[in-house]
Amino acid sequence: MKFNTTIKRLQEAANKVILAVPAKSLDARFDNINLTLENGMLTMFATDGELSITAKCDVASVDKGNIAIRARTLQDFLRSMYETDVTFDIERQSIGELGTIHIATDKGRYRIPCTFGSKPESQERNFDLSIELQPNELQDMIHKTLFACSVDGMRPAMMGVLFEFSEQHITAVSTDGHRLVRCRKNAEIAVADKQKIVVPARVLSIIQRMLTNENVKMSIDSERRNVRFRTDNMELESALIVEPYPNYEAVIPVENEKKLVTDRGQLHDSVKRVGRFSSIGDLKISAQDAQIRVMAENASEGESAQEELACSFAGEEITIGFNTKFVEAALSHIDTDEVLIEMNSPKTAVLFKPNGAERQDDLMILVMPVRINN
């Protein structure tokens, strides 16, 4: 079994599949990257038992076969190499399943051990729902929801992003109990009833790193327990989170009558500066007439800060306390010049939205207020 290719092609494929290799595993097969050679195509495969990644690269070869190599060994070798042509010549030992990979470049000769016939078995699945996604739209949905996922293992459903598929929309939702994000994209999907799945945050983080300019086909199996993301040269398959997702619609306020519009960038910078003066990581935002005030203090150290910004606001004065980091994150994930903030009282949820009638339903970030001491 022999093939020729370039270091760059091998690196591109290996850097994708290595993301499925667990840091620690009790099964040695999960420590490996499997290489399958057939019809001038090298296919790399790795899995941790729940998540699997497949990547392909073109090679020059008329041979076919399958071997497994320790993932970290291959990764370390490729990371240390410069761009050049490389030849892999796999030799099988006379006894057992062990083998040796002889690697040749223009400057060196290397040997790495391998094994034959050790690829974990993959299960056949019936993927009955498929959606074609533009890479930029999928990236945008992941970027705008992933940051709000919970890291609390006691609430597994909230450690992922809820995807809802209807005939005209894809809606992605994430929450950690203190904030909630809903991002909606227009799409034509052949579904009779609304479909819901919860994709683990880890899976979406990997997809975010792997996406290129290729369209992505997202497929869900008939039992709604597995999802697959596929492009021309990459495939990721993963188990879904099967615990029911909280009823997020019940916590979105519908009576926030106080509406404030201001410059998003200026407010973001102001929150970032003023928030550093807080002793416990919170701040107060006050709105009155055409002015918004951002305030924080550290009473024990005698420190405080206050900044005023121009805004558009009508209604009685209102002051609300927030976790500084939550407001910073909300404002940094809105991509319009102005932000619309919808409020009702110091004790009810506040909505941050892109300003503009045509954009308000695309993204909504809910932030729960914190108690403030006057």
Q: Do 196 and 147 have their domain in common?
A: yes
Q: β-pairing, 109-116 with 65-70?
A: antiparallel
Query: Mind giving me the DSSP string for 291-303?
Result: EEEEEEEEGGGTE
Higher pLDDT, 214 or 183: 183
Judge whether 121 lies within some domain: no
Residue 123: Cβ-neighbour burial (10 angstroms; 0-12, 13-18, 19+): exposed
User: How far, in Å, are 7, 44, 135, 260, 364 from residue 59 at the CA level?
Assistant: 11, 12, 26, 58, 47
User: Within this chain, do residues 222 and 138 fall inside the same structural domain, yes or no?
Assistant: yes
Q: How much is the mean pLDDT over the chain?
A: 92
The predicted pLDDT at position 75 comes to 95
Domain shared by 180 and 270, yes or no: no
Q: Are residues 171 and 273 part of one domain?
A: no
Residues 133 and 241 in one domain: yes
The reported pLDDT for the residue numbered 189 is 84
Residue 6 and residue 100 in one domain: yes
Q: Which of 234, 250, 266 is the last residue of a domain?
A: 250
83 pLDDT above the threshold of 60: yes
What's the rounded Cα separation, in Å, for the pair 147 and 200?
A: 13
> Could you tell me if 324 and 228 lie in one domain?
no
In a domain, residue 373? The reply is no
Residue 185 lies in a domain: yes
What pLDDT sits at residue 361?
60
Residue 91 lies in a domain: yes
Domain holding 193, by residue range, is: 127-250
pLDDT surpasses 70 at 372: yes
User: Among residues 209, 233, 250, which one ends one of the domains?
Assistant: 250
Distance, CA of 261 to CA of 249 (rounded, Å) = 24
Domain end marker among 65, 94, 116: 116
Sheet with 338-343, strands from edge to edge, namely: 195-200, 160-165, 169-175, 179-186, 363-367, 350-354, 338-343, 258-263, 303-313, 291-298, 282-288, 318-323
Q: pTM higher than 0.75 for the full model?
A: yes
Q: Name the residue among 154, 236, 155, 243 with its Cα closest to residue 202.
A: 236
Residues 172, 76 share a domain? no
pLDDT, residue 356, reads 77
| Pair type for strands 195-200 and 216-221 | unpaired
Q: Report the distance separating Cα 268 and Cα 102, nearest Å.
A: 56
Q: Quick check: is 374 in a domain? A: no
Provide the token pair at 373.
């001491």
Number of domains in the chain: 3
Give the pLDDT confidence of 18-46 residue by residue, as tens digits: 999 988 877 777 899 999 999 999 999 99
Q: Which of 156-160, 178-182, 223-227 has the lowest mean pLDDT?
A: 223-227
Burial 40-68 (b: 16+ CB within 10 A, else e): eebbbbbbbeebbbbbbbebebeeebbbb
Whether residues 101 and 136 share a domain: the answer is no
Domain CATH for 361? 3.10.150.10
Are 97 and 116 a contacting pair, CB within 8 Å? yes
* Co-location of 205 and 279 in the same domain: no
Neighbours of 338 (CB within 10 A): 18
pLDDT band at 363 (very low <50, low <70, confident <90, very high): very high
Give the pLDDT confidence of 311-339 residue by residue, as tens digits: 999 888 999 999 999 999 999 999 999 99
Q: Is residue 372 part of a domain?
A: no
Are 271 and 341 in contact, with CB atoms under 8 Å apart?
A: no
Q: Give residue 120's pLDDT.
A: 62
Same domain (yes/no): 246, 142: yes
- Answer yes or no: do 245 and 132 share one domain: yes
Question: Which tokens in the block code for residue 134?
Answer: 């533009």
Beta bridge partners of 109: 104
Does residue 122 lie in a domain region? no
Encode pLDDT of 245-287 as tens digits: 999 999 999 888 999 999 999 999 999 999 999 988 999 999 9
Instruction: Check if the beta carbon of residue 119 is closer than 8 Å to that of residue 133.
Output: no
What's the confidence (pLDDT) of residue 21? 93
Residues 53-65 pLDDT 10s: 999 999 999 999 9
In sequence order, which residues have a C-beta less than 8 Å from that of residue 68 and are 6 or more positions away?
Answer: 29, 32, 33, 34, 35, 114, 115, 116, 118, 119
Read off the pLDDT band of 156 (50, 70, 90): very high
